[in-house]
Structure 1
């Protein structure tokens, strides 16, 4: 992970974009008042979103499992479906 000031990134944007993609590296763009941003490849961004969604899904599964262990469940009979 590299931290580069805004002016330097502005003057060399293509190079920093290439670094983010080719070297799979995050570029932190430092700005005044700590209003920083990050440049990263679309591939890495998509992976982060996928990881977030997976973490949310796993949290739901954990909650359901804890509820099951605590006896907070309902049982239902199975519905038989005719093959007609």
Structure 2
């Protein structure tokens, strides 16, 4: 993760925003007071992170995932062929 000073970030805002969106790499914007530092990330990555946090905080769903993992590890899983025929004909 790259870091840039707030003054440089302000001068080149459009460039940094484009870079963050193109690379999906968050950017640390630093200030003289480290308590004022921020991280800039793409909306797409932010949404993904929020969805992951929602899944991880849902105990019912996490229990189902863990139960499925245990069943698969115990050899109770089934492998299915992917049907790639999406024609409506």
TM class, shorter-chain normalised?
Answer: 0.5 to 0.7
User: Following TM superposition, where does structure 1 have runs of at least 4 consecutive aligned residues deviating by more than 2 angstroms?
Assistant: 58-62
Give the secondary-structure state (helix, strand or coil) at the position aligned to 1:29: strand
- Of structures 1 and 2, the larger Rg is shown by 1
| Runs of at least 5 residues in structure 1 that lack an aligned partner in the other structure | 63-84
* Number of aligned residues: 63
The 5-angstrom pairing of residues 1-84 of structure 1 reads 1-34=1-34, 35-58=36-59, 61-62=62-63
Instruction: Give the superposed CA RMSD.
Output: 2.0
Could you tell me the TM-score, scaled by structure 2's length? 0.63
Give the secondary-structure state (helix, strand or coil) at the position aligned to 1:38: strand
| Runs of at least 5 residues in structure 2 that lack an aligned partner in the other structure | 64-89
Could you tell me the TM-score, scaled by structure 1's length? 0.67
Once residues 61 and 48 of structure 1 are traced to their aligned partners in structure 2, the CA distance between those partners, rounded to angstroms, is 16
